[in-house]
Structure 1
Amino acid sequence: MVSVTVSPAGRPLALAKGLPIIVQIPNKTVESATIGDVKAEVSRKFPKLYPARQKLSLKDDKRALVDEKTLRDAGVVDGEEVLLKDLGAQISWRTVFIIEYIGPLVIHPLIYYLPKLIYGGSVQHSMVSQYTYAMVMLHFAKRELETLFVHRFSNGTMPFFNIFKNSGHYWFFSGICLAYSVYSPAYSSSSPFIRNTFREDPTFLMACFAIWVFAEISNFSAHMTLRNLRPAGTRKRSIPYGYGFSLVSYPNYFFELLGWTVIAVMTGSYAAYVFLLIAGYTQTVWAIKKHRNYKKEFGKEYPKDRKVIFPFIL
């Protein structure tokens, strides 16, 4: 049997009154007991403090201890004290993604098919509006399917209230704003913005669609590469190689931004450009942080000439 003292990290926890406590894990040693076992015992004592809400750390290190690590590998010896922090209500990343992407899938059809309700009159949709509708719907349907059947998440949950921030990004900017813009009378087949311009040229629209399809397929390929690196139910990380990864660490982000760039150029919509800028900034920040983590974790093994997100640039 192995014992660990669990104390609050900072002020007393409302859901864990009675800390510190001594957690005992029977029939295991520091070589076989895991951080997850400690969390399970804490949850047994305080049922509302389920494992996903818990962050355990060493007294002299604020970094979270990984559930899958044994106590020995985590640097915890028999009888040692670890600190417990309540992360608050949690929700699974998979659920968050499903909710994020369902917004545009509902919003775009409502605005596209109910122009009298939205604009006060009927709208004869131009070809560019029709292409945009198809591309947006296919993109988010793909994202939903990837969430259900492809993605394997390194972190199981996130704070519950983050769902409103994350969903707002997609529901408002790529949902309401984009749809309201490109299905409006300003984009109708008789609009001066469309008539006798390249936006009603079938060759231009087909070229845009072809580049968009290339970006979407390439993005899916990158997601499959990342999936195949991580066995189900693990947080294993390996260096990705293959299509796209020879140039950048996050080709999935690059190809997604390429797809949205096509939509922005094709429509000329301010809403499309605003969403592109927001998504580009957000994903670039994520990519830079994750790229640094790759280099820190794998050191000299990580390809030194590999850029972060934009080939040959960053």
Structure 2
Amino acid sequence: MAADKLTLSVRPRGKPVKKLPEEVSLPAKGTTSELYAQLAKQADISIHRLRVTKGSDGALIPNSKDLPVEDTGIREQSTIYVKDLGPQIAWRTVFLVEYAGPLLIHPLLYAILPYTSHSPGPSYLQTLSLILVCIHFAKRELETLFIHRFSAATMPAFNIFKNSAHYWLLSGLNMAYWIYLPSSSAAQESNPAITYAGLALFIIGELGNLNTHLILRGLRSSGGAERGIPQGLGFDWVTCPNYMFEAMAWIGIAMVSWSLSTVVFAAVAIGQMGVWAKKREGRYRKDFGGKYKKKRYGMLPLIW
């Protein structure tokens, strides 16, 4: 007769976890989310700080409502290791803080820099650059609030400083300073052909990026961590069309602002997105096997 309870031996990984029990019991058919909940309750610690691995091979035991503990290979009296990941912060909060930087810095420097050195004020290109940058980051804030669904609830709290520096310094302070100076290229007369081509790229990129995010949202339930195979505009060309469209938008901003600082940020951002796209392709192949149509390019058709 099968046991009603599954009892596991618990050991700390790394530094000791205060109040961590030596054993934990849960229903024989219990899920890994129940295991995490039991550990968090008994150790009196946030569930998001816990990382649980199997004692046999060190494999991660994910926190999932749909994964029975038995399906991870754990049996009666198996040993699990529990690590305290330290203070955590919600991914949604991190994103909101990151994108707030450029939204604050660009209008501030736009209001100050064009009027220095007896300048008559901001040029058409400087004003248009401000509008495009603010539209881009306001859109990302709204997507964070109303569209994105995160597979992981939190990240280490300290990482917010590293992540925010990329946006507050590189796309915020650095870009804004060089765009809105009276001596910048954006302060000069514009080339209509380049400006309108850049504006068109920006609009297509932003709308395409939004569409991709809506498709990805539909693959996951609210609060869920399930994964699906995305289909729709761009997904037949590359693994991550959201990155492809974002690259288009930033190239468009660079063509409008005519600033090397924008080119530098765009190059860094595109490089990072390319790395993420390659990892996403590997994860799709691993998770879905033959069901997934393999892509040759991660984010830029015929290039990368």
Output the TM-score relative to the length of structure 2: 0.92
Residue 24, structure 1, aligned to residue 14, structure 2:
no
> What is aligned with 2:213?
223
Confirm or deny: 8 A CA contact 1:126 1:188 kept in the other structure. no
Aligned residue among 49, 54, 59 for 1:58: 54
Confirm or deny: 8 A CA contact 2:281 2:295 kept in the other structure. no
Give the distance between the partners of 1:100 and 1:109, measured in 2 at CA.
Answer: 16
Give the distance between the partners of 1:264 and 1:86, measured in 2 at CA.
Answer: 43
Where in structure 1 do 4 or more consecutive aligned residues deviate above 6 Å? none
Q: Deviations over 1:104-145 (max 9, x none)?
A: 11111110112379x565552111111110000000000000
Confirm or deny: 8 A CA contact 2:52 2:82 kept in the other structure. yes
Give the distance between the partners of 1:122 and 1:149, measured in 2 at CA.
Answer: 41
Confirm or deny: 8 A CA contact 1:251 1:309 kept in the other structure. yes
Gaps of at least 5 residues in structure 1 are: none
Which amino acid is 1:37 matched to?
A: E
Give the distance between the partners of 2:98 and 2:117, measured in 1 at CA.
Answer: 28
> What is aligned with 1:144?
141
Find the residue that maps to 1:98 and give its secondary structure: helix
Number of residue equivalences: 298
Pairs within 5 Å for 1:110-149? 110-115=108-113, 119=116, 122=119, 124-149=121-146
Pairs within 5 Å for 1:24-173? 24-25=25-26, 28-29=27-28, 31=29, 33-47=30-44, 49-68=45-64, 69-115=67-113, 119=116, 122=119, 124-173=121-170
- Residue range with higher mean Cα deviation, 103-112 or 201-210: 201-210
Residue 280, structure 1, aligned to residue 270, structure 2:
yes
Distance 1:123 1:288, change over 3 A: farther
Which amino acid is 2:129 matched to?
A: T
Which amino acid is 1:55 matched to?
A: R
Give the distance between the partners of 2:253 and 2:59, measured in 1 at CA.
Answer: 41
Give the distance between the partners of 1:260 and 1:269, measured in 2 at CA.
Answer: 12
Deviation of 1:306 after TM superposition, in Å, equals 4.7
Which amino acid is 1:144 matched to?
A: E
Give the distance between the partners of 1:166 and 1:182, measured in 2 at CA.
Answer: 23
Output the TM-score relative to the length of structure 1: 0.89
Find the residue that maps to 1:114 and give its secondary structure: helix
Pairs within 5 Å for 1:291-302? 291-302=281-292
Find the residue that maps to 2:218 and give its secondary structure: helix
Which amino acid is 1:270 matched to?
A: L
Distance 1:116 1:125, change over 3 A: closer
Which amino acid is 1:64 matched to?
A: L
Residue 246, structure 1, aligned to residue 239, structure 2:
no
Give the distance between the partners of 2:288 and 2:179, measured in 1 at CA.
Answer: 45
Give the distance between the partners of 1:60 and 1:169, measured in 2 at CA.
Answer: 39
Confirm or deny: 8 A CA contact 1:7 1:83 kept in the other structure. yes
Which amino acid is 2:283 matched to?
A: N
CA RMSD, aligned part only?
A: 1.9
Give the distance between the partners of 2:86 and 2:268, measured in 1 at CA.
Answer: 28
Confirm or deny: 8 A CA contact 2:185 2:259 kept in the other structure. no
Distance 1:123 1:6, change over 3 A: farther
Which amino acid is 1:138 matched to?
A: I
> What is aligned with 1:182?
179
Confirm or deny: 8 A CA contact 1:287 1:309 kept in the other structure. yes
Q: Deviations over 1:40-77 (max 9, x none)?
A: 22222221x31111000111333321111210122211
